[in-house]
């Protein structure tokens, strides 16, 4: 696959609606699987977004019909959805061509798209999307063009290979480097956002070389090697906006509250920073609010 060029659904609604609600779909790229990163593991994010005035949230996993197509994604352009927050938790079989086409048409009619993946090839079905998909670098698909970055960073989990930047333990936070000029997504209370949830093996993102409307807006630094890596890329095309995140763990319940649990295959030691000081999550909560506004040009 090359980088393209060019639980049943739960509804969380805020009764304080604007004249025109900001409708956000939070979607995973896998069918419901109890012992995996299904959409129920992003409940705190849904609640955070849904608490904002005028925001309506729908959450769902991939649900395909007999023809093997998720009709919600394939028909997204004709829906009343304003934003798609897509958590690519698949191992390569997450988005079918019809679903990629639906998301592409959705963006083309002005829909905002946030995508998040993780280490190695996790979430590599995103490569089927133009624009935002090309901002994601995987191990075997659209790898980071900087050869010096094609090396193992996380040395604790030997079964995972690059990209696998170690920004800290799940349950801890990482201090981010905000790129100049400061992007509106990273502003908070007259200052800038400084902390995001950490993860032992984050993926790789970068601004596509042929996209003048995209740029890296935040970077992290490995706690093992000290190497810098890109955390967030934002793209502002004439007709739509998009965000590419190096890890869906910035938004997962497990990283906002380690006591909420994780799939059984998550075996790394857990940090306790956010348990000891919940105020460390104030920045990521502000960030997701900024993203909800920015993606809908509000």
d(CA 73, CA 52): 24
Encode burial over 129-142: b for 16+ CB neighbours within 10 A, e otherwise.
bbbbbbbbbbbebb
CB 86 within 8 A of CB 103: yes
Tokens of 286: 């502000």
Instruction: Tell me what pLDDT residue 3 has.
Output: 67
Residue with tokens 């089927």: 128
CB 69 within 8 A of CB 63: no
CB 197 within 8 A of CB 174: yes
pLDDT band at 16 (very low <50, low <70, confident <90, very high): very low
DSSP assignment letter at 271: P
d(CA 258, CA 281): 13
- Count each helix (H run) and each strand (E run) in the chain, helices first: 6, 15
Is the predicted pLDDT of residue 155 greater than 70, yes or no?
yes
Residue with tokens 């977004």: 49
Is the predicted pLDDT of residue 237 greater than 90, yes or no?
no
Is the predicted pLDDT of residue 59 greater than 70, yes or no?
yes
Instruction: Tell me what pLDDT residue 20 has.
Output: 82
Question: Residues 178-211: pLDDT tens digits?
Answer: 999 999 999 999 899 999 999 999 999 999 999 9
pTM for this prediction: 0.94
Cis bond before residue 181 (omega within 30° of 0): yes
CB atoms within 10 A of CB 205: 25
Domains recognised in the chain with CATH numbers: 10-295 (3.40.50.880)
Question: Residues 60-79: pLDDT tens digits?
Answer: 999 999 999 999 999 999 99
Encode burial over 19-54: b for 16+ CB neighbours within 10 A, e otherwise.
eeebbbbbbbbbeeeeebbbbbbbbbbbebbbebeb
pLDDT band at 297 (very low <50, low <70, confident <90, very high): confident
- The residues facing 60 across adjacent strands are 27
Instruction: Tell me what pLDDT residue 94 has.
Output: 96
Nearest alpha-carbon partner for 217 in 247, 243, 240, 237: 243
Question: Residues 258-294: pLDDT tens digits?
Answer: 999 999 999 999 999 999 999 999 999 999 999 999 9
Query: Which are the contacts of 261, defined by CB distance < 8 A and separation ≥ 6?
Result: 254
d(CA 197, CA 273): 10
Instruction: Tell me what pLDDT residue 291 has.
Output: 98
CB 26 within 8 A of CB 87: yes
């Amino acid at each position: 696959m090359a980088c393209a060029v060019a639980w049943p659904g739960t509804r969380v609604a805020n009764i304080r609606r604007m004249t025109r609600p900001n409708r956000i779909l939070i979607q995973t790229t896998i069918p419901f699987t109890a012992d995996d990163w299904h959409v129920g593991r992003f409940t705190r994010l849904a609640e955070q977004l849904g608490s904002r005035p005028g925001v309506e949230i729908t959450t769902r996993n991939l649900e395909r019909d007999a023809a093997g197509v998720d009709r919600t994604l394939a028909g997204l352009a004709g829906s009343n959805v304003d934003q798609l927050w897509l958590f690519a938790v698949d191992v390569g079989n997450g988005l079918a061509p019809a679903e990629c086409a639906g998301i592409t048409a959705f963006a083309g009619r002005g829909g905002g798209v946030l995508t998040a993946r993780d280490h190695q090839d996790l979430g590599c079905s995103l490569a089927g999307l133009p624009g935002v998909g090309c901002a994601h670098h995987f191990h075997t698909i659209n790898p980071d063009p900087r050869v010096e970055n094609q090396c193992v960073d996380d040395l604790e989990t030997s079964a995972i290979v690059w990209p696998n930047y170690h920004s800290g333990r799940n349950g801890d936070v990482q201090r981010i480097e905000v790129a100049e000029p400061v992007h509106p997504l990273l502003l908070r209370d007259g200052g800038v956002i400084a902390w995001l949830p950490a993860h032992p093996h984050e993926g790789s993102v970068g601004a596509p070389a042929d996209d003048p409307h995209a740029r890296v807006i935040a970077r992290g630094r490995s706690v093992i090697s000290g190497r810098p890596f890109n955390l967030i890329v934002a793209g502002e095309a004439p007709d739509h906006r998009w965000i590419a995140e190096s890890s869906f763990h910035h938004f997962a319940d497990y990283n906002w509250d380690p006591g909420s649990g994780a799939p059984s295959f998550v075996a790394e030691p857990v940090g306790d920073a956010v348990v000891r000081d919940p105020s460390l999550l104030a920045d990521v909560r502000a960030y997701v609010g900024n993203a909800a506004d920015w993606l809908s040009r509000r």
